[in-house]
Amino acid sequence: MGIKKAYKGYKAYSYLEPDVDYPSYEFADWNWTGGYLIPLDEAQESRLKKLMEENVFISLHEHPTYFPKRIEETKTYNRDGREFCAYDALAESYIDCVFDNMMDGTCQITSKNGWKWTDVLHDLGMRLCDLAHQDFLIQCKTVADIERAHREGKIAWVPCMEGAAPIENELDRIDILYGLGVRLLGVTYSESNALGNGMKEDQDGGLTKFGKEAVRRMNKVGMLIDCSHAGPKTALDTILWSEKPIVLSHVGARALWDSKRLFCDNVLRAVAEKGGVIGIESAPHTTMTHTNLTHDIESVMEHFEYVANLVGIDHVTFGIDSLYGDHVGLHHVFAASLSKKDTSNNAVEYKEVPFVKGLENPTEASLNIPRWLVAHGYSDADIAKAIGGNVLNVLKKVWA
């Protein structure tokens, strides 16, 4: 039934009755763009097959759920508090471990501004209930769970939070999230919170005193720290204060595209020097470049190669930040909540793409990233590092 042989056909919330237990929506087909595969010759296909059998593929930042075909219905869909994991689509992927960032800022069950503690717990609890009714996705709490998933043809599922606003000023909420299985926490989303400043702000004062305490607590419990949406000083402070490596799970190089959403070389170097890893993303219109104004796999891989050359292949991976549905349309629906405004400093005109060719969803991304690396002559060792080995090295140092 796909690449992942352990999948037996389970559909999200199939133990409930649609339109009786929950409002139903027509979802977009997971491969609604028609799909695109980078062509390989017979020898390359054989090499790819062996590589993926022997190595772990980790997607460091995704939203692996279905979205309504009518994307404008997403706000109502999210207010219902029940996202549908795309089990069948994931079964067609190479993914062995997915870091799922759930609804996060679009979790607007009780507030149009999102990021409320009760909403986050609702979102997490609902997803855990669904996972409890199937055996294809394994709730991932340790590195051993990732290795087991790869061995058994399953997927290790890691619940994450992109920003720490919901913990407010309560350090113990870090422990609670960890206890519920959350294994990655962003210091900030784009807006500032009690820990520090987000990348959206005009001024960045760095980590607050509470933020420093939170970093220490995350180190103690074994929570992986993410600064993908933090302001540059807040990110540098976090790297300094953390006793363990951190990640930028879904970013790109600002040297290639002048946007607040991406990071300058000094931050990228600092993450690597502390032993961390940098995930390259492809959320629509983020990782373009001045030589690739059309956002697709080629522009994204230009960011990958730039970062790899800057900090070394041991410190770069992929956090594609995709989903199953119309991602460009979703950005229009949630423009304010997702802080898409006022992040680009580019004066360069570019044409909006309807989708990111080659990386439009988690499945397509997992298929094409190793294909691109094989096609461009990367060694087996470097491919293994980039698709998951580098993340495993960090997790072995951070997770309790």
> Is 146 within the bounds of a domain?
yes
CA-to-CA dists, residue 302 to 82, 256, 280, angstroms = 36, 8, 10
> Is 20 within the bounds of a domain?
no
Helix (H) or strand (E) holding 118: helix 117-131
Is the pTM of the predicted complex or chain greater than 0.85? yes
β-pair type (58-66, 184-186): unpaired
Model confidence band, residue 344 (pLDDT cutoffs 50, 70, 90): low
Burial class (CB in 10 A: 0-12, 13-18, 19+), 215: buried
Q: Of 144-148, 270-274, 348-352, where does mean pLDDT reach its minimum? A: 348-352
Per-residue pLDDT at 2: 65
> Is 16 within the bounds of a domain?
no
Per-residue pLDDT at 337: 57
Q: Could you please report the per-residue DSSP string of 34-83?
A: --------HHHHHHHHHHHHHS--EEEEEEEEE-BSSGGGHHHHHHTT--
Which CATH number is 343's domain given?
Answer: 3.20.20.140
The domain total for the chain is 1
Which domain covers residue 290, as residue numbers? 42-398
> Is 2 within the bounds of a domain?
no
Q: Of 143-147, 320-324, 334-338, where does mean pLDDT reach its minimum? A: 334-338
> Is 22 within the bounds of a domain?
no
> Is 200 within the bounds of a domain?
yes
Whether the Cβ atoms of residue 317 and residue 365 lie closer than 8 Å to each other: no
> Is 6 within the bounds of a domain?
no
pLDDT tens-place string over residues 386-396: 999 999 999 99
> Is 3 within the bounds of a domain?
no
**Greater model confidence, 138 or 344:** 138
The owner of tokens 């800022």 is: 105
Q: What does pLDDT average to over the chain?
A: 95
Distance of alpha carbon 58 from alpha carbon 160, whole angstroms = 14
